[in-house]
Structure 1
Amino acid sequence: MKAITLQAAGGVEQLAITDLPVPSIKDDEVLVQVRAISINPVDTKVRRRQALIQLVLQLEDHDSPKILGWDIAGIVVATGAAVTAFKKGDAVFGMVNFPGHGKAYTEYVAAPANHLAPKPTNISYEEAAAATLAALTAWQALVSYGGTKAGDKVLIHAAAGGVGHYAVQIARQLGAHVIGTSSAKHKDLVLQLGAHEHIDYQQTRFESLVADADLVVDSIETTGHLERSLQAVKPGGALISLNLLFDKNLDIAMKARTKGVFTHRMEVRSDGSAMQQIAAWLEQGKLRSHIAYRFPFEEMAAAHLQLESGRTAGKIVLTL
């Protein structure tokens, strides 16, 4: 089968198209013929750094081949002996083995059945693949940890981004008053997704407008931004960071504790149950994937470069 392996930590030149045997499956797994793959910032971060190859893929230096990726949509072509939820021919999607060695950059993926959900018939494989790691991150941030409920005020940063554009929709469906930050050029998209208010972060300091948020979802990778987000949370509210560890930012953690603010650094994990809820919302039209770029599988390097540009609204998918 066709696969893209990571030769070593580094630039996109380390992504090599090669041929590998079709993987065998365990009793609790299904073999998925992949139709579409989604990529995320974690893909490019792991590609660049040896420490993250070991931490996120959970591999040692000598383990080979190293295959990035976790987000897939495709067709079940074989099932393990213990699998009852799916059968051959079923269309499925999900985030596979995250954290861990998902091996999604391949034509066939051995996936735990409990990491997948049936693909809604009314969406494409590309739209399904997009709504995996990013949608799960948004879901777990807002629902599992944020406890978002009707009437809450929720501030979502990078609201036009991969995680952000799902978070806006999920928070709106949960009945929250949603405020999204982005550049001015993405204002229309953010409002179309369901935000009640938009803040152009390049023109206005958001904390000067928001000081009573029940929840802030912060995906920006700077300590200063996280501290500003804390100012936007009301006492007793919650602050979810997608990137920064609070135990490495003790000053912010202490200020949050004094303010009675719950803090959590998101570590999204594969969850078939949540995927099924996301699938239901996709089927009902409550949630949609905004795909900014589509690439053929062979152009994975170009897809990585586009993602690293930091100028992508929504998601990037690749098709096989």
Structure 2
Amino acid sequence: MANSTDTLPESTMRHVIYDRFGERDVLQVVESEIPQPDAGQVLVRVHGAGLNPIDWKTRKGLGFAARQIENSLPWTPGYDMAGEVIAIGEGVTTLVPGDRVMGMIGFPGVGGAYAQYALAQADELAIVPEELDLMTAGALPLAALTAWQALFEVAKLESGQKILIHAGAGGVGHFAVQFALERGAHVIATASASNRDFLAELGVHEVIDYHTTDVAEECYGLDVVLDLVGGEAGKRSLHTLGEQGVLVTIPTVTADEIVSAAEDMGLRAHGMTVRPDAFHLDEIAELIEDGDVRVHIDEPFPMDRVVDAHEKLEGGHVRGKLVLDCR
């Protein structure tokens, strides 16, 4: 190993686990030995770990990630983190101890971000821009990559196109509206009335209050819909598409029925699952450095309040992101 953890001031770390699927009370904070990086891995002293909807769904035993881990409990959740490289494993040449990094790690079966120290594959990590503190950076990777890949890989959004983004003020949504604006699209977003000003500050052209307005009556001929809500909202949005338009739906539970409904209407819709991509993270980091994109943290939670963090996460209506302070 190129750099040893022997220099660490402590030998144990605190981290969150659950040993069975269930409600929030299965979450517990425990102490374990700090792991050592294997070949190709780095050990990161975590500052911030992002909380994402997949975290609570997996904790309840729902969705594809839960199937990956059901025989590996107890398990430390979390796919998003940022921190400082402490040690590197054999063969790692791209990072050195002291580097400030962020990444979507251990997806979907390993996890491990809700911890004071986490192992990551070196190729999962990107350098954090100086403009971004490590707590905030921890909330970025999974949500920003979801938005980026949905818009530019699946929907192939181009300058001048019209796009509707559901839940524009949420974790994925607030990145998606900024990426779409930066690409030169005309951006319409749905949100509650309390988030209208927030989205206007980000530069969104039109904000639709989903409590009072039916998007199918308000929008037509759209090039792209990014559906971050799923279910009936996703199906209803098909009526806003132009003949050549495409809808990308993120919630996996209702993706199949939305894609089928689109086919029945002669329209295009796709589900998608995010994947780690350090190159995309580098591109996103550049936008942050240039001041074109910002990360909004709704609330940071200390590790001891992980149950409260999951309660707020499950409730939805989070503006931007929630982050676990793992320092």
Common fold by TM > 0.5: yes
DSSP 3-state at the match of 1:130:
coil
Paired position in structure 2 for 1:230: 238
1:184-223 alignment runs, 5 A limit: 184-222=193-231
Identity score, percent? 38
Aligned residues: 313
Task: Give the counterpart of 2:192 among 166, 175, 183.
Answer: 183
Shift in Å, 1:151: 0.2
Distance 1:250 1:281, change over 3 A: closer
Aligned residue type for 1:132: P
In structure 2, what is the Cα distance between the partners aligned to 1:210 and 1:50? 33
On the 8 A contact 1:99/1:269 being kept in 2, the answer is: no
Shift in Å, 1:243: 0.8
In structure 2, what is the Cα distance between the partners aligned to 1:272 and 1:285? 20
DSSP 3-state at the match of 2:83:
strand
On the 8 A contact 1:98/1:268 being kept in 2, the answer is: no
Shift in Å, 1:182: 0.3
The Cα offsets for residues 135-188 of structure 1, whole Å up to 9 and x where unpaired, read as 110001111111111101010000001100000000000000000110111001
On the 8 A contact 2:29/2:303 being kept in 1, the answer is: no
In structure 2, what is the Cα distance between the partners aligned to 1:207 and 1:29? 48
Where in structure 1 do 4 or more consecutive aligned residues deviate above 6 Å?
A: none
Shift in Å, 1:9: 0.7
On the 8 A contact 2:221/2:242 being kept in 1, the answer is: yes
Shift in Å, 1:50: 6.0
DSSP 3-state at the match of 1:93:
strand
On the 8 A contact 1:247/1:253 being kept in 2, the answer is: no
The Cα offsets for residues 214-245 of structure 1, whole Å up to 9 and x where unpaired, read as 100001131x2222111111111110001145
On the 8 A contact 2:83/2:101 being kept in 1, the answer is: yes
State whether structure 2 residue 116 is matched by structure 1 residue 107.
yes
Aligned residue type for 2:233: H
In structure 2, what is the Cα distance between the partners aligned to 1:215 and 1:242? 14
Paired position in structure 2 for 1:2: 14
Distance 1:278 1:51, change over 3 A: closer
The Cα offsets for residues 109-156 of structure 1, whole Å up to 9 and x where unpaired, read as 110111110011111112211111111100011111111111010100
Distance 1:50 1:174, change over 3 A: closer
Shift in Å, 1:248: 4.2
Shift in Å, 1:318: 1.5
Distance 1:123 1:227, change over 3 A: same
Distance 1:50 1:197, change over 3 A: closer
In structure 1, what is the Cα distance between the partners aligned to 2:234 and 2:198? 24
In structure 2, what is the Cα distance between the partners aligned to 1:53 and 1:14? 17
